[in-house]
Amino acid sequence: MMDAILVVDDEKNYTAVLSAVLEEEGFDTRMANSGHEALEILAREEIDLVISDMKMPGMDGLALLEKIKQKTPEMPVIIMTAHGTVNKAVEAMQKGAYTFILKPFDNERLVMYARKAIEHHRLVMDNQRLQHEVETQYSFDNIIGKSMPMQDVFRTIRKVGPTSATVLIEGESGTGKELVAKSIHFNSPRREKPIVTVNCAALAETLLESELFGHEKGAFTGAVARKKGRFELADSGTIFLDEIGELSPILQVKLLRVLQEKTIERVGGVLSIPVDIRIIAATNRSLKQEVEAGRFREDLFYRLNVVKIQLPPLKQRPEDIRLLVDHFLHKYSAERPAGQAIPQVAPEVERLFTDYHWPGNVRELENMIERIMVFCPGPTVTIDDLTPEFRDQVHNTLHIEGIPADAKLSETLTLVEKKMIVRAMKMAGNVQTKAAEILGIGKSGLNQKLKKFDLN
Ligand SMILES: Nc1ncnc2c1ncn2[C@@H]1O[C@H](COP(=O)(O)OP(=O)(O)OP(=O)(O)O)[C@@H](O)[C@H]1O
Ligand SMILES: [Mg+2]
């Protein structure tokens, strides 16, 4: 597309000449013979550069410049001045003009200025766009979210990724703790080394101990050979301690020692083996509360809670739901027969999704979309494609006894008000003072309402 230049001068002939020169050089031009006309054109057309005369009746070049800069600060403006108005040209520069050009000038010079100004403008815009994209990135690795808390999470991952700092991730089940842990690892210098996951809730204490620290041959019955523990396997990589809140008191002590001394001891062994490990722990409890309840060691908590990432429940970030739905629709459409289009979600289904409380968070949403993609044959996901259980659940949370879903607030309140007044009057045997007392309002207030509803 050609770059469009708006030429502003009160002398019609002059704008026509300049315009012809610029068009000759491959620019698209618009002409305005006053500041007001210029502003009108700017309001409705895409303009890349304004070249304006300084001296014009009514709104002069300086005033026009100010108006333009208020609306579109990045718009480049070149001011043409005659000798008498040079001091004004300086002022124009201070107010944000790209440059000024002294009349009379040769056309080549103007064309050169125009090219430079447009080029400069383009760079500024590109920069702004890039900046904007960085700031509002809706996904990081495969983590989706545009809500403020998720944007915070992305920022934190970017910051702590390159370090070896211990990270504690808290969040309800299915909020993406494991996803975040992996993202931290893969954004760290350890990415080529393993990330080893240990589920602290899955194993009995003694088993977990040998799982974590390994054991020497003969350390206990069944220990027929020396075995390396997960900490050793994760050496120079990352260990992800999932469900850390479930760790038994004894293992809490042992983990604390690893964190303090950066060495491990195999079960039944005497050697202290140095390890270089990044620790990421996750829990669906509040570890601080576990400490307060005396179930988790405070010293270990502080060692783990160096950097904290709190993943909010999905219900608290409704603006992410739409994005996540799209993400999973794409993800699971890859598994469908080729040529089948990705379904669209009907608006009423989207509304149900935002109303639902999602106790299973993102995992529950993902499972639901996966199921829909298996069973939904059509191009649109409608309410019929949802399970009856889901529809009932949403219905129950939205249902208010005696009030239809599309009721208007003021009408409904008036209706209820009227019904209550009639009832109170009946109960009070039509004695207004008594009825007012029952309703908890003043007598004159009741009187007004009786008149309003025509109940006398
Ligand atoms: N923000 C997100 N963007 C995309 N996918 C997500 C997001 N959050 C979670 N998921 C997906 O949801 C599922 C559950 O996530 P994950 O296993 O990380 O949750 P969790 O917090 O570890 O849950 P739990 O406490 O039950 O172990 C995974 O399939 C994950 O990929
Ligand atoms: Mg998990």
pLDDT (mean) for 125-136: 64
- Per-residue pLDDT of 327-366, as tens digits, reads 998 888 877 766 677 888 888 888 888 888 899 999 999 9
| Contact of 120 with 84, CB cutoff 8 Å | no
Q: What is the pLDDT of residue 412?
A: 87
Question: Does residue 435 have its Cβ closer than 6 Å to ligand 1?
Answer: no
What pairing do the DSSP bridges indicate for beta strands 307-311 and 278-283? Answer: unpaired
pLDDT (mean) for 358-375: 91
Q: What is the rounded CA–CA span in Å between residue 297 and residue 318?
A: 35
pLDDT (mean) for 146-161: 91
| Exposed / middle / buried, residue 78 (Cβ in 10 Å: 0-12, 13-18, 19+) | buried
User: From the CA atom positions of the chain, what is the Rg in Å?
Assistant: 35
Beta bridge partners of 77: 50
Q: What is the rounded CA–CA span in Å between residue 10 and residue 383?
A: 63
More confident residue, 406 or 44: 44
Residues with CB under 5 A from ligand 2 (ion): 177-178
Contacts 24+ apart (CB under 8 A), 41-45: 41/6, 42/6, 42/68, 42/71, 42/72, 42/75, 45/4
Same topology, domains 4-133 and 140-311? Answer is: yes
Question: Does residue 361 have its Cβ closer than 6 Å to ligand 1?
Answer: no
Class in CATH terms, 315-398 = mainly alpha
Q: What is the pLDDT of residue 137?
A: 63
Ranges 89-98, 264-273, 330-339: which has the least confidence? 330-339
Q: What is the rounded CA–CA span in Å between residue 81 and residue 99?
A: 11
Domain ranges of the chain: 4-133, 140-311, 315-398, 409-452
Q: What is the rounded CA–CA span in Å between residue 341 and residue 244?
A: 42
> Mean pLDDT for the chain?
88
Q: What is the rounded CA–CA span in Å between residue 151 and residue 135?
A: 8
Position in ligand 1 atom list of the atom nearest CA 145: 1
Question: Does residue 188 have its Cβ closer than 6 Å to ligand 1?
Answer: no
Residue 187, amino acid: N
pLDDT at 393 over 80: no
Q: 3 is written with which tokens?
A: 């770059």
Does the pTM surpass 0.75? The reply is no
pLDDT at 132 over 70: no
- Per-residue pLDDT of 438-449, as tens digits, reads 999 999 999 999
pLDDT at 131 over 70: no
Percentage, residues of the chain above pLDDT 90: 54
| Contact of 246 with 259, CB cutoff 8 Å | no
Ranges 165-169, 347-351, 358-362, 413-417: which has the least confidence? 347-351
Architecture of the domain delimited by 4-133: 3-Layer(aba) Sandwich (3.40)
User: Domain spanning 140-311 has what CATH number?
Assistant: 3.40.50.300
Q: Which among 403, 396, 385 has a CA at the least distance from the CA of 357?
A: 396
pLDDT at 246 over 70: yes
Would you identify the CATH topology of the domain 409-452? Arc Repressor Mutant, subunit A (1.10.10)
pLDDT (mean) for 69-84: 89
- Per-residue pLDDT of 42-59, as tens digits, reads 999 999 999 999 999 999
Q: 28 is written with which tokens?
A: 């698209």
CA 314–ligand 1 middle distance (angstroms): 11
| Contact of 203 with 213, CB cutoff 8 Å | no
Q: Which ligand is nearest to the CA of 198?
A: 2
pLDDT (mean) for 217-229: 81
Question: How many H-runs (helices) and E-runs (strands) does the chain carry?
Answer: 19, 18
pLDDT at 248 over 70: yes
Phi, psi angle pair for 249, to nearest 5°: -55, -40
Residue nearest (by alpha carbon) to ligand 1 atom 9? 176
Q: 10 is written with which tokens?
A: 């009160």
Residue 444, amino acid: S
CA 86–ligand 2 middle distance (angstroms): 69
- Distant-in-sequence, close-in-space partners of 283: CB < 8 Å, separation ≥ 6: 168, 169, 170, 243, 244, 245, 290
Q: Residues in the chain, how many?
A: 456
Q: b/e per residue, 80-105, with b = 16+ CB within 10 A?
A: bbeeebeebbebbeeeebbebbeeee
pLDDT at 114 over 90: yes
